[in-house]
Structure 1
Amino acid sequence: MADMMNDGSEWFAEQIKANCSEPVVYHRGAESVSLSATIGNTEFEVADEYNTIQTFRSRDFIITKSDLIIGGSATYPVAGDTVVEGAETFEVVSPGGSQCYREDDYGQLYRIHTKKLS
């Protein structure tokens, strides 16, 4: 029997890529890949060095997991990588030591957390 939730997740990933995304370039060192990304944001509460809670809002790039191919190999986002959207550059970050990305339950999408550099 087909897994309807997995099928629906695949369909959703295809739809947001086709209808709700814009071109970006993902960079790791000298390597890069052009991707279609849907833009989002996530708010994090992060304790600073004085244990004061600060709110951090990341700009998120939601991409199809299978599109993140760097150096000929499938990979996952790494803190310190960059994403270029138009004339703006964003650094992949791990707010408060958390993971720099989230993956949907069916392994179709990465939600990559970033902060604006320029």
Structure 2
Amino acid sequence: MSSYLLTVQTKKQEVDAIIKGTINKVLVLCFGHASDPVCLQLDDVLFKSAREVSKFASVALVDNNSNEIQVYVKYFDITFIPSTVFFFNAHHMKMDFGTADLTKWVGAYHKKQDFIDVVQVYI
């Protein structure tokens, strides 16, 4: 993903640091590609939402094309983009979105309130 508005993680060490360093907040990691129009639309929704959720959540983008990130791509089975993974106090959070996959949200949030509603479930 490519965004001048949100932090983009391209290295495993960066992702490790943000997971370990986000305490008492939900960490939202969105995996995607810079060239994908759905990811760009998601970037816009996340940016517009980031300030409103900043007291209880942090949002970061993860560049799915980066070779160093592939360990996370394989671990979370990121086969469809965009995919969003949630953490709290360095622990991966699972949630029932009505699909067989409880590890991540697959797809984009179309409106700011859609994203905020999902994040608020974690608090």
Higher helix fraction: Structure 1 or Structure 2?
A: 2
TM-score (norm 1): 0.29
Higher strand fraction: Structure 1 or Structure 2?
A: 1
Structure of larger gyration radius? 1
Which protein has greater RCO, CA pairs closer than 8 Å, 6+ apart? 2
